[in-house]
Amino acid sequence: MIEVRELTKRYGGTVALDGLSFTVEPGHVTGFLGPNGAGKSTTMNIALGLHTPTSGDVLLGGRRYTDLEQPLHEVGAMLDAAPAHPGRSALNHLRALARTHRIGRRRVEDLLEQVGLAGVARKKAGGYSLGMRQRLGIAAALLGDPPVLMLDEPVNGLDPDGVRWIRELMRAQAAEGRTVLVSSHLMSELELTADRLVIIGRGRLVADTTMRELAERY
Ligand code: ADP
Ligand code: ADP
């Protein structure tokens, strides 16, 4: 479960988040919708301890990211698909991550297979296509088998096969009882993936609803 509580973030004079609160439940794909600049990435960055909030907090299974003992086992995220180390292969990238977090080598091999990178696992990630980088990002996010997944605009720029693959993966993760939060600025994208929807604008909550309720009410 993800709990966003009274979250405020200011960058100098810019108010990126303005008292934002909502909860994301396990077992669903929850879409996080809002126009560019609404505060979606800021919310996810704070959830992952990459930015500090001005006030309020985000709890993952009841704790702040910075208080998690084994963060990779608690939350997996793909915030952008740029490889952290372009000179490193997918295999070495995942192995390094696995080593740091005491995850077995076998899990790395299995994941490379699962995300469809087994054939290019020894090539440098800097030469990967966008779709392959997304697959590597997803593999890193899944490495610790976390109960919470957070994906920031994961299908941007992907070919139809890649888009379908990520959608199916998110739905399968939710069906296994995980909490999945996926951001997009496009309703047309989220209506194909999400069954719940959190809509924000200018750092504030606009609606917290289900797709069904949205279709019936509007
Ligand atoms: P979204 O992900 O919904 O497109 P963001 O969270 O990226 O929105 O941005 C929310 C607001 O915060 C925007 O006005 C953006 O310009 C501003 N912002 C985001 N990151 C920074 C930063 N590092 N420095 C200054 N302003 C920022
Ligand atoms: P390194 O020293 O090799 O960079 P780190 O342990 O610092 O190893 O990990 C950094 C890399 O791991 C980055 O690519 C980052 O995106 C990824 N990473 C860290 N935590 C997570 C997470 N919870 N979910 C997905 N990827 C993560």
Ligand 1: centre distance to CA 42 (Å): 6
| Protein residue with least CA distance to atom 23, ligand 1 | 11
Query: How would DSSP label each residue in 75-142?
Result: EEEES----S-TTSBHHHHHHHHHHHTT--HHHHHHHHHHTT-GGGTTSBGGG--HHHHHHHHHHHHH
**Smallest-distance ligand from the CA of 86:** 2
User: Which residues fall within 8 angstroms of residue 132, CB to CB, at 6 or more apart?
Assistant: 90, 117, 120, 125
Which of 42, 45, 48 gets mutated to test ligand 1 (max ligand atoms within 8 A of its CB)?
42
* pLDDT tens track for 62-76: 999 999 999 999 999
Which mean pLDDT values do the consecutive 10-residue runs of the chain (218 residues) have?
98 96 98 97 96 97 94 93 81 94 92 94 92 92 96 90 94 97 95 96 97 85
* pLDDT tens track for 21-52: 999 999 999 999 999 999 999 999 999 999 99
Q: Are 143 and 136 a contacting pair, CB within 8 Å? A: no
